[in-house]
Amino acid sequence: MSSTDNNNNNLRSVVLGVGSYLPEKILTNADLEKMVDTTSDWIVQRTGIQQRHIAADGETTSMLGIKAAQKALASAGVDADSIDLVICATSTPDYTFPAAATQIQAGLGITKGVAFDLQAVCSGFVFGVTTADKFLRSGSHKRALVIGAETFSRLLDWEDRTTCVLFGDGAGAIVLEAQERGGDGRGVLSTHLRSDGRHREKLYVDGGPSSTKTVGHLRMLGKDVFRHAVGQVGDVMLDSFREAGVDAERLDWFVPHQANARIIDASAEKLGIAAEKVVKTVQLHGNTSAASIPLALDVAVRDGRIKKGDLVMIEAVGGGFTWGAAVIRW
């Protein structure tokens, strides 16, 4: 799927603002040493993770999403009621239905337009940006909020050391607006998505309304996911570079899904992206699934690394498998 499909007008989806929110409670590796048979050294060496945030009892995905969206709207300098498209990428909605996006829409006081969830696990934010970009460039919608929000702590088997040390909770959001293509070249330049449903058993949740009538726990064959994450994502990244007419040299920032520092480093190296262009937040956030990229984008915008006009690539791999990449002139 390419962003130039059906691209018969002069519109581009331009980033107006970004925001994020992390729950107050921090769970450190030292805390985990007291909960399961692990060591901080193992976690840091194998993943780079030092800490993660955990939602409080009663603090839901949509609550995190609302706070991230409010910050994104403030950074964009636009009112909530100017938003006519809300997409929430999540695998941990408050309820089986309605969509978390509708809860976020209501929480922000938006009563027009459309809101829906998008489920592509850790690739959800890239899928969300891609979907919003197609809505905006079609001319059907004007201003979108794309949110990645997760409470993965609720899906974890806290006795399984191979998974419970990896994930955290959080939310991030961006505001995109349909604008006439300008001379500054800003906007989403290219998007590419893939999925291959044959790999379900490598990363899945062993419950659901239609199978077990329970929420279930996350299960993962870590090595297989690692191999796929490093081995196969190159295709969407290269396609995105090619379509945007850029290459790794010209990229200013690489903001990948934050699952594991080793996966991030290996992917960047494979594509020839210099280490100093890589935004890494996995050490502080853990793997927050669909929230990880907008959380990392917000960190890098706030600390002054990502500036208007910079060329940014986002990229992710997730359960399914799903994977995708997008090139954005910020």
- The verdict on 153 binding ligand UT7 (CB under 6 A) reads no
Active site residue 29: no
| Contact criterion met (CB below 8 Å) for 18 and 203 | no
Among 24, 109, 223, 249, binds ligand UT7 (CB under 6 A): 223
- The verdict on 148 binding ligand UT7 (CB under 6 A) reads no
Among 14, 16, 203, 314, binds ligand UT7 (CB under 6 A): 203
Find the helix packing angle between 261-271 and 40-47, rounded to 10°.
Answer: 20
The CA distance from 169 to 22, in Å, is 7
Active site residue 10: no
Active site residue 6: no
- The verdict on 162 binding ligand UT7 (CB under 6 A) reads yes
DSSP percent split of the chain into helix, strand, coil, nearest 5 = 40, 25, 35
Query: One symbol per residue from 106 to 145: x for binding ligand UT7 (CB under 6 A), - otherwise; what is it?
Result: ----------------x-----------------------
The CA distance from 234 to 325, in Å, is 9
Exactly one of 53, 88, 122, 141 is catalytic; which is it? 122
Residues 6+ apart with CB under 8 A from 242: none
Q: Cα separations (Å) of 61 from 36, 95, 211, 219, 306? A: 26, 10, 23, 21, 27
| Contact criterion met (CB below 8 Å) for 217 and 154 | no
Residues 255 to 314 in contact with ligand UT7, rule: CB under 6 A: 257, 259-260, 263, 287
- The verdict on 218 binding ligand UT7 (CB under 6 A) reads no
Q: What is the DSSP letter of 278?
A: B
129: left (phi over 0), alpha (psi -120 to 50) or beta: alpha
- The verdict on 219 binding ligand UT7 (CB under 6 A) reads no
Q: Which is nearer to ligand UT7, 198 or 223 (CB)?
A: 223
Supply the minimum distance, in Å, between the C-beta of residue 105 and ligand UT7: 27
- The verdict on 165 binding ligand UT7 (CB under 6 A) reads yes
Active-site residue list: 122, 257, 287
Interaction site with ligand UT7 (CB under 6 A): 38, 42, 46-47, 122, 161-162, 165, 203, 222-223, 225-226, 229, 257, 259-260, 263, 287, 317-318
